[in-house]
Structure formats: C-alpha cells, structure tokens
Structure 1
Amino acid sequence: MSQSRPQTILFADVSGSTRLFETKGDQEARRLIAKVLGALTTVCQQHGGRVIKTIGDEVMCTFPAALNGVLAACDMQRKMGRDIDFVRDSLAVRIGLHHGDALEEADGDVYGDAVNTAARMASLAKREQIVTTAATYNSLSGKIPEARSLGKARVSGKLLPIEIVDLIWQEDTSGMTMVQSAIRLGDPTGGSNARLRLRHRANQIELTPTSQPFSMGREATNNLVIEADWVSRAHALIEFKRGHFMVADRSTNGTYVRIGDDDEIKVHRDELHLRKSGTISLGQSFGVNSGDVIYFDAD
C-alpha cells in the first residue's frame, strides 16, 4: 500500500552524455557512465540515502532529511572533481534536489510533487552545479553550505514561480558572490518587475515572471504560430528562470538571436538570456527571414 511522507528527492545526471557517445563510442561511453553512477550510488548510501533507480545517464535517490541530501549532493560533486579518471575524461554531473511530501509505493518507487519539483531543479542545473528550492535550503540548520539566489523558476503543477538557489559545494570559493542570509534567499521581490515585450507582425505580447512558458513554432498549439517549412512544430520556448527571460531552442534548424547591435547568435538545442532588445528568427538567419522576425524588448 502506498503512503505519503516527507523526504528529500535528488536527481543527478551525467552532463554532456550525448557528446560522450559521439567521442568515445557506445561501449566506452556506457562504461564511463556506469562508473559515474556507481560512484554517485556509493556517496548516496554513505549519507543514509537510497537509490530508487537509474535511468540511462541519471540516478534518482531519496534521503530522510534535507541535510542528508544536500551534503550528499556536495560530496557527489567533489567526488567528480577529485577522481582522476573522471577528471581525465572531463566527466561532470548536474544535480537537482527538493524536500517535500512524496508518495512511496510498495515496490519502493516514489511519486508526487516533491519528485516533480526535484526533477525540475535538475533540469535547471548546469554542469558541476547543484540547484535546489529556497524552501529546502531555508529548512537547513547547523553547518551548511552557502548558496546563491538564482531568482525564480516555474515548476509544473505550481501556480506561481518558486525561488531557487545554487549550492556552493566548492571548497575554494574565492571570487564568488555568496548569499548567506536565508531572509535574502526568500525575498519575494527578486525579479518581480521584469518584463519582456514581444512583437511579431500585428501581434504584441508582454511576458512577466509569472507568465506561463511561451511556445513558438509551426504547430497550432503554440502561443505564437509561424507557418514556414524551416520552422519546427515545437521550435522554441521563452521562459523566466534564474531571474532572467531565457529562450530555449528545441528545433532542427536552430533559433537565431541578435541582441542590440551584436552579431547574430545561432542557438541550437541550447538556451540564451534575452537582454536589452533585439530580434529572434526561427529556423533561418535574420537576413533571410526578415518577414517573420520576432522583436523583443526586455526590462
């Protein structure tokens, strides 16, 4: 019988695994990924955690308390940074975690809001980074790692964006700007006045930090539909996260962004911070596709 209880959910995955398969070949890439997941499993168990499952290049763990999960996440990153085999092959992981109620099934698997939020934190994390919710961080006590605010991010199933933080696991933190106050981390005003205005032909749209992700593409279900052969069905997404409006490309042909008078940037299966003002062109360069360009202006 399933039961719900508070626990910390942690996801860790190998950063850049696609490139690993391209450069190392399938067999060697699988061996390296298995070695990383084995090391992460050992660290998890050392901190009283339990591995729920491994999925491809990702491991999912649970811990009885937030502090266990946070300390395990820091030690996972340190393990990756110290192990000569991992360093030699430029292997790294990205980690997301969250403490909350999760439904635990009889077979040991877990589901629910805490799992969804932790998975979202992992998707926001970059290489060698640990991202968690400010609520999880603010619940910690004792000797804890420092953190930096990353602003707010939208999580599926939640009405409003939530505050997120980046945990500082590195032992040498010289040159980093620390956020040591839980009050500052929980400041609800961060980024609340941000605005992004979009213009495409006769359409004018204004996005705020609480807006739903704004989709663009050829398919009719998108918020902005651009019917062109070079535009993918679900081409790109604009979303407020880490305190900024970001455009994320999901297309075959890429998304071309020009900020101010700078040179045009091709974003392909990646994301870019939209700042100041400029243009977004789906699938083709601005010079070729001037009739369907999206103009943006960010505050």
Structure 2
Amino acid sequence: MGATSTLTILFADVSGSTKLFETRGNVAARDIIAAVLDALIEVAHRHGGKLIKTIGDEIMCTFPGAVQGLLASTDMQRRMKSDAAFVQENIGIRIGLHHGEALVEEKDVFGDAVNVAARMAAIAKRDQIVATASTALNITNAAGVRVRSVGTARVAGKLLPIEIVDVMWQEDVSHVTTVQRIVQFTKNKRVVLNLRYMDREFQIDELADPFTLGREDGHSLTIESDWVSRDHAMIEWKKGHFILSDRSTNGTWVRIGNEELLVHRDAFHLRRSGTISLGQSHAAEDGNLLHFECSEA
C-alpha cells in the first residue's frame, strides 16, 4: 500500500534528441544521451535527490524539499554548459518541477504533483527551468534562487490556471559574498481581452475558460454563416498571451493595422487590437467582424 508524501518532483529531458539520432546515428546518439542522463542523475544525487525512473531521454527525480529541487535544476543546466563534450554536441535540456503531495508506491511515484511537474517540463523550452510559483514561494533569500513570473498555464484536472515561474540559472554570482539572489514575483496587472461582435460584448482574462467560436450552438459565440465551421476557432490565455487557435475548414483571417494574416489549423498571438473574420478574408466579409482589443485592468 502506497503512502502519501510531500515531495518535489523534477522532470528533465534532452531537447532535440530526435535530431541527434538523425545526425549522429543510433549508437552514437544513444551513448551521448546516456552520458547526459548519467550527469543529470549525479547532480540530483548530490542535492539529495532520488532517481525514480528514466523514460527514453528523460529522467524523473524526487527531492525532499523545494530548495533541493530548485538548486539541483540550476546545477543541471550549468553542468550541460560547462561540460566540453556536451557543448560540442550542442546538448540542451529542459526542466520542469513542482512541490506537492504525491503517492509513493514501491519504486514509483504517482499523483497530482507528478502530473503538474510533467506539465511544467512540457512547457519549458530548451535551456529553461519552469516551476510552479508555489514551489518557490517560501524559499528564503539565502537559498540562492531567483525566479521571475511568466504568467499562468492550464494543467489537466485543475479548474483554474496555475501561476508559473522561470528559474534563473545563467547568472554566476558565486564570487559575491552576500547572496543577493532573491525570489521575486512580479505583480503584473490583470490583462484582459475585450471582444465585440455586432451588438454583443465579451471580456476574458487569464482565469477565463477558453472562448470558442463556431456555427453550432453551445459555443461562447455562435455565428451562423456558411463560411463558418461547426467548431471553428478558440481563444485562450496560454503562456502569458491570448492565443487564437483555428481548427476550421476555411481558416480564420486576422487583421492588425494594415496587415492581414490567414490562420489555418494553426495558432496566432493576438496583440494590441484588430479584427477577426471567420471563414473568409476581410475583403469578402459582409460586415460581421469580431473586434478585439488587449488591455490592462
């Protein structure tokens, strides 16, 4: 029977491993990745971490506390950039972590904390560490960790988006006598997206559910037109921006200023103000445009 424990869960994987296999071949690439994972595991052990498992080019570790996990994550990134062999192979890693309750069962770990940490790793880009803000919230100044807020992200199973932070690791201040690296949270103003369609107005923010558009009933905004697909597009707050995602047959046109762009089965970052036309260009549009404006509240 498993036991519940509060742990820091860390996922780290090799970025661009597919390209590595293509350029170096299966055997050489496998050896390089194995060396990278061994180095990451060694760093984790040095900070009191425990390897739970390796999954292809990824490792999953646990730490007893958030400080150990955060420090291990920064040292993992620095290890990649200080090892000549890894630099020569242009190796990069991405890391995600979260501190919370997990179910420890034999040699594996399950539960909400694992799912959230995995989501953080999926959000992270090459050479980046992404953590939930709650993981770094109570870290003292003396821990030597700096973070910056990068907005919120939605996690499967969570009703509301989770605030996330970028863990800073590239600044070397080891020579500084008094540690100045303080956990910082920038209190950003609330960003809202104002939408207007004919005589109807909507306002969405980072906590709102995705705003859906289509021809069928049940959408946030239903537009009855032959050009509009049943399930045409969606607008949601993602990684600090309002993102328009098209999933239609005919596409979605976005005009900002004098520039018009076709978005078809792709995503687009809505910025400033402009208009959206579903299914046809603005030149052919009959006047039923969706107006948008990003603003701070």
TM score, norm. by length of structure 1: 0.74
Residue 92 of structure 1 corresponds to 92
> Superposed, which structure 2 residues align to 1:113-124 within 5 Å?
113-124=112-123
Kindly provide the CA deviation profile for residues 98-126 of structure 1, in whole angstroms up to 9, marking residues without a partner as x. Answer: 111111112x2111121122112212212
Amino acid at match of 2:115: N
* Compared CA separation, residues 219 and 163, structure 1 to 2 (3 A): same
Identity between Structure 1 and Structure 2 (%): 51
Structure in which a larger fraction of residues adopt strand: 2
Residues 1:244 and 2:263 are matched in the alignment: no
Residue 14 of structure 2 corresponds to 14
* Compared CA separation, residues 20 and 138, structure 1 to 2 (3 A): same
CA RMSD of aligned residues (A): 4.2
Q: Give how far 1:33 is off.
A: 2.7
Residue 298 of structure 1 corresponds to 294
Kindly provide the CA deviation profile for residues 123-170 of structure 1, in whole angstroms up to 9, marking residues without a partner as x. Answer: 221211111122211222233221111122222333322322111111
Q: Give how far 1:224 is off.
A: 7.8
Q: More displaced, 56-65 or 284-293? A: 284-293
> Superposed, which structure 2 residues align to 1:104-115 within 5 Å?
104-106=104-106, 108-115=107-114
Amino acid at match of 2:10: L
Q: Give how far 1:196 is off.
A: 2.3
What SS class does the counterpart of residue 152 from structure 1 fall into? strand
TM score, norm. by length of structure 2: 0.74
Q: In 2, are the aligned partners of 1:281 and 1:289 still within 8 Å (CA)? A: no
| Partners of 1:214 and 1:239 in 2: CA distance | 6
| Partners of 1:70 and 1:236 in 2: CA distance | 38
* Compared CA separation, residues 71 and 258, structure 1 to 2 (3 A): farther
> Superposed, which structure 2 residues align to 1:251-262 within 5 Å?
259-262=256-259
| Partners of 1:218 and 1:166 in 2: CA distance | 39
For structure 1, which runs of at least 5 residues remain unmatched after alignment?
174-178
| Partners of 1:78 and 1:11 in 2: CA distance | 16
| Partners of 1:43 and 1:288 in 2: CA distance | 59
Q: Give how far 1:49 is off.
A: 0.8
Amino acid at match of 1:210: L
Residue 176 of structure 2 corresponds to none
* Compared CA separation, residues 275 and 52, structure 1 to 2 (3 A): same
Amino acid at match of 1:118: A
What SS class does the counterpart of residue 95 from structure 1 fall into? strand
Larger radius of gyration: 2
Q: In 2, are the aligned partners of 1:7 and 1:101 still within 8 Å (CA)? A: yes
Aligned length: 286
Q: More displaced, 52-61 or 30-39? A: 30-39
Residues 1:212 and 2:171 are matched in the alignment: no
| Partners of 1:70 and 1:225 in 2: CA distance | 46
Residue 76 of structure 1 corresponds to 76
For structure 2, which runs of at least 5 residues remain unmatched after alignment?
174-179
